[in-house]
Amino acid sequence: MSKKSLILAAIFVFVAGAYSYAQQQPQIAVVGSNSGSVDSQGIRHYLLGPGDVLDVRVFGQPDLSSIVEIDAEGNVSSLPFLEKPISAQCRTEKDVQKDVATAYAKYIKNPQVSVQIKERKSRQPATIFGAVRAPMQVTMMREVRLHELITKAQGWTERASGTIEIMHTEPQMCPADGGVFQNAALSEKGSFGIAIYKITDLKAGKEEADPLIWPGDIVRVTEGDPVYITGSVTTPRELVIRDKLTLKLAIAMAGGPSRMANTKEVHILRQKEGGQEELKINYDAIRKGTAPDVELKPFDVIEVGDAGLFSNKGMTDLFKGIVRGTAGVVTQRGIIY
């Protein structure tokens, strides 16, 4: 398969995943501001765009008052007696108001004009999905950063791998110079518009890891690949690989080896082309620092076996258990209340 085909396939998978989650979450959350409208492009006042609806009123002239929608070219072109369209895209309603008053001044002496935004429809919702608790589409009525979008989605889950991918689906309508996203380092995937950020950097409060979200963005909190730990551990379980997961850490996360575990020979079943390979690891040597820890791979199965009742370790642990149990009984019987 050619490089171009691989890139197109990756884009298809990314967008298909976003579409699937969006279909499961038909409701659209709105991030707004009680202190007034703020443009989602990072400019202080809301800037108009195609699809926004304006309520234009000329006082004392009801025939000239109307509800108009900004057309695809970003103009107001359907007002009565308007000789030429009025540019509205990337301008405020106050800017448009002044131009409307100027246009009608040819017919009316000192026209009093009011222009107000009736509907904001020029911004496409952003979509967030993946390892979040509430995948959704979010319509933004003000400037929104990544951490707010994740909070709206109720945070990431325990399956989060540690990275967040952001894909632009459309250019900024009213771009501002110096945006955080433009300065972000892109990965190899950056050739088709995906930037990758680390959750650890976002939690640390690093500005470069908390970019502004553009309308139409697709945000995916990536899920980590699983590994499985079974056998003589306190809590056999599935674990998720984040930045890095080693055998020593995995066993610790499973509560540690049980008393009868054979820690001199831990088995790792690893997936590879054409089947599996089995690795035998001396966990005791890793704990003592005489052998390097083993980095786990996706879908590894770690099996901690039993030492066996009649092995040296088994007999020693059994004897220790008997002594502890007997000591407990004697101590309890010897207490004077």
Domain contains 43: no
* Residues 180 and 283 reside in one and the same domain: no
Give the H/E segment covering residue 267: strand 261-272
Domain residue limits at 91? 53-119
Does 317 map to a domain?
no
How far is the C-alpha of 114 from the C-alpha of 101, rounded, in Å? 9
The Cβ-side half-sphere exposure at 24, using a 13 Å CA radius, reads: 13
**Count of domains for the chain:** 3
Residues 131 and 215 reside in one and the same domain:
yes
Q: Measure CA 15 to chain center.
A: 14
Q: Check whether residue 148 and residue 61 sit in a common domain.
A: no
For residue 73, tell me if it sits in a domain.
Answer: yes
CATH number of the domain residue 264 falls in: 3.10.560.10
Query: Of 204, 222, 240, at which residue does a domain stop?
Result: 222
Check: pTM over 0.85? Answer yes or no.
no
Q: For residue 248, give the nearest of 317, 296, 200 by alpha carbon.
A: 296
Residues 134, 181, single domain; the answer is yes
Domain membership flag for residue 327? no
Question: Could you list the pLDDT tens digit for every one of the 337 residues in the chain?
Answer: 454 444 444 444 454 554 454 444 444 565 654 333 334 443 347 889 999 999 999 999 999 999 999 999 999 999 998 889 999 999 999 999 999 999 999 989 999 999 999 998 888 899 999 999 999 999 887 778 999 999 999 999 999 998 999 998 877 778 765 443 443 433 333 444 689 999 999 999 999 999 999 889 999 999 999 999 999 999 999 999 987 899 999 999 999 999 889 999 999 999 888 888 999 999 999 999 999 999 999 999 999 998 764 445 544 554 445 444 444 443 344 333 2
Flag whether 173 is in a domain: yes
- Do residues 156 and 205 share a domain? yes
Please check whether residues 275 and 199 belong to one and the same domain: no
Q: Is residue 325 part of a domain?
A: no
Contact residues for 67 (Cβ-Cβ < 8 A; gap 6+): 53, 54, 55, 56, 118
Position 333 in a domain: no
* Claim to verify: residue 159 and residue 28 sit in the same structural domain: yes
Are residues 27 and 167 part of one domain?
Answer: yes
Q: Is residue 194 part of a domain?
A: yes
CATH of residue 105 = 3.30.1950.10
Domain C-terminal end among 119, 147, 167:
119
Question: 247 with 197, same domain?
Answer: no
The verdict on 132 and 23 lying in the same domain is yes
